[in-house]
Chains A and B, each alone.
Chain A
Amino acid sequence: MADFPMPVFYSYPPYFTLQPVKETQRKQRESWKDLILSYCCHHRIFIVSLDAAADEFPLFENKAIQRKLSLEARSLLLEDLAASGRGRWLGPDRRRLLVLWRGVGEWADVIHAWARGNGLEDSVVSLEELLGGEDVRGSELAGMPRELLSAALRTLEERGKARVFRGDANDDTGVKFFA
């Protein structure tokens, strides 16, 4: 967390209590929403879970002032992200959120640029390769969860920039990129 500049409100205790007054709470949630997005972007965090232990996602607790967000507050913040299009729930139980600090369309661009940059146009790449192969390491694609990758590839398919060949099992799936 050291190199990420925390906003002033992060050290201001009442920001960790869900405000009882509607308008104040709206401001509070707006500030948190921005912070979650920039924090996740900075640390390349893709998924935030309501069940996560504090050490997995330390943002919701500020030990320095002994404050943490309640489950209710955390859940509301993630709902806000989903409602504004900056997050997608993974699964119907709404416990894990895919945080879209880049929109799916943007990710599609990133993947396509990566494929071009690696000379992979008109060749088939396996999904597993995209999820953690040699070429992906250290690139913009590193760490992308399967759900996000699939969504971005669907977008590329719609744009006619890729074609996904689905095999029987997950590791059979391949992607062909077009220029």
Chain B
Amino acid sequence: MLIGARHLISNGSPHLQESFKALGDHVNQTKLELMRSQMAVFKESLEQFALKYRSDIRRDPAFRESFHAMCVTIGVDPLASNKGIWNRLLGFGDFYYELGVQCVETCLVLRSSRRRGSAAEAVSADDVLKSLEKLSVLGGGLGVVTVGGSRYVRSQPMELSRDAADALDFAQRSGGFFSAPDLSASLGWAPARTEFTLQQLLRDGLTWLDLPPDAGAPCLYWVPAVGMEQAAAAYAAAHRLA
């Protein structure tokens, strides 16, 4: 039929050409309207879903994560706007802004006390990542870095060298602290390489120096980012302290 149509057009009278153009426009118009109505139906059911499970979405971090995954798959971003329908339905915008601000505060204050309190809503790692993503538009180097198997929130712009990342990974595996000889032995580094990396980590504020009281004991290097409470407990246990 297409061939026929082309044949007609190439041969044809201007009158016929106009008719075909009108027909084509009509078809396109119909398609568009169909799409529009499908989109409306789709949007409505998504909204209904969101409304129906609103409390689950807000309360259950795992469910929230699945909901986001679904939205991403079909190209809707419920976080995109703080004014849109999604925020009206779910109140997400503020949730992630607030969480993001709390993440930043925690980074700045460098305290591991639970700022959100036990009564706060449950927050999943996915929530934290999303909130930081939102704040990353502000610049300032805010982001997430992966070291070894763990993800860390980075609050200031810095480049982590390969060696520094390996040392942090080692700290994570050894309970949050290590001595220079331990680090050398574990990673097979020459003392100079270890020393250089440690100086770099100290300078970036990623490790803290600790001079144990017993003479002859090597300096310890502590990595607060790995978790202060757990590290202190691990140290006390290892040294059979109270």
Q: Which residues of A contact B (CB under 8 A)?
A: 7-9, 11-17, 19-21, 23-24, 27-28, 63-68
Task: Give me 19 other A-B pairs in contact (C-beta within 8 A), A17-B209, A24-B202, A65-B232 excluded.
Answer: A7-B111, A7-B113, A8-B111, A8-B112, A8-B229, A12-B231, A13-B177, A13-B232, A14-B210, A14-B222, A17-B211, A19-B208, A20-B209, A23-B205, A24-B205, A64-B241, A64-B242, A65-B236, A67-B210
Query: Is B100 located at the chain interface by the 8 A CB criterion?
Result: no
- List residues of chain B with CB within 8 A of the CB of A65: 232, 235-236, 241
Which residues B206-231 have CB closer than 8 A to chain A? 208-213, 220, 222, 224, 228-229, 231
- Give the residue of B112, B208, B242 whose beta carbon is less than 8 angstroms from that of A24: B208
Beta-carbon contact of A16 and B112 below 8 Å = no
Could you tell me the distance in whole angstroms from the C-beta of B205 to the nearest C-beta in chain A? 5
Query: Is B52 located at the chain interface by the 8 A CB criterion?
Result: no
> Is chain A's interface secondary structure helix, strand, loop, or mixed overall?
helix
Assess A14 versus B220: contact at CB under 8 Å? Given A8-B111, A9-B228.
yes
**A29 CA to B229 CA in the complex, in Å?**
19
- List residues of chain B with CB within 8 A of the CB of A64: 236, 241-242
- List residues of chain B with CB within 8 A of the CB of A24: 202, 205, 208
Could you tell me the distance in whole angstroms from the C-beta of A76 to the nearest C-beta in chain B? 16
Q: Which of B177, B205, B210, B213 has the most CB of A within 10 A?
A: B210
Q: Which residues of B contact A (CB under 8 A)?
A: 110-113, 177, 202-203, 205, 208-213, 220, 222, 224, 228-229, 231-233, 235-236, 239, 241-242
- Give the residue of B210, B232, B239 whose beta carbon is less than 8 angstroms from that of A8: B232
**A97 CA to B211 CA in the complex, in Å?**
27
- List residues of chain B with CB within 8 A of the CB of A12: 222, 224, 228, 231-232
- List residues of chain A with CB within 8 A of the CB of B113: 7-8
Q: Which of B112, B208, B213 has the most CB of A within 10 A?
A: B208
- List residues of chain B with CB within 8 A of the CB of A66: 212-213, 239, 241
Q: List 15 A-B contacts (CB under 8 A).
A: A11-B232, A12-B224, A12-B232, A13-B210, A13-B222, A14-B210, A17-B208, A17-B209, A21-B203, A23-B205, A63-B242, A64-B242, A66-B213, A66-B239, A66-B241
**A65 CA to B203 CA in the complex, in Å?**
25
- List residues of chain B with CB within 8 A of the CB of A20: 202, 209
Beta-carbon contact of B205 and A21 below 8 Å = yes
**A82 CA to B232 CA in the complex, in Å?**
31
- Give the residue of A7, A9, A21 whose beta carbon is less than 8 angstroms from that of B202: A21
**A27 CA to B206 CA in the complex, in Å?**
13
Q: Give the nearest-CB partner of B213 in chain A.
A: A66
Could you tell me the distance in whole angstroms from the C-beta of A34 to the nearest C-beta in chain B? 10
- List residues of chain A with CB within 8 A of the CB of B233: 11
- List residues of chain A with CB within 8 A of the CB of B177: 13
Q: Give the nearest-CB partner of B108 in chain A.
A: A27
- List residues of chain B with CB within 8 A of the CB of A19: 208-209
**A167 CA to B170 CA in the complex, in Å?**
69
Beta-carbon contact of A13 and B220 below 8 Å = yes
- List residues of chain A with CB within 8 A of the CB of B209: 14, 17, 19-20
Could you tell me the distance in whole angstroms from the C-beta of A95 to the nearest C-beta in chain B? 24
Q: Give the nearest-CB partner of B239 in chain A.
A: A66
Q: Give the nearest-CB partner of A21 in chain B.
A: B202
Could you tell me the distance in whole angstroms from the C-beta of A7 to the nearest C-beta in chain B? 7
**A23 CA to B208 CA in the complex, in Å?**
11
**A65 CA to B229 CA in the complex, in Å?**
13
- List residues of chain B with CB within 8 A of the CB of A67: 210, 212-213
Could you tell me the distance in whole angstroms from the C-beta of B178 to the nearest C-beta in chain A? 12
